[in-house]
Amino acid sequence: MSSSAKSHGLLRALRQFLPQATLSVIHERPWHSLTFSGSQICISAILHSGYNAEFVTRITQSLPEHEFELSGQLVADIAVIEMASGENPGRLMVDALLLDD
As a whole number of angstroms, the distance between CA 52 and CA 12 comes to 23
**Amino acid present at 42:** C
pLDDT in tens, 28-81: 999 999 999 999 999 999 988 677 778 888 888 999 999 998 989 999 999 999
* Helix (H) / strand (E) containing 82: strand 73-84
pTM for this model (two decimals): 0.85
* Helix (H) / strand (E) containing 99: strand 90-100
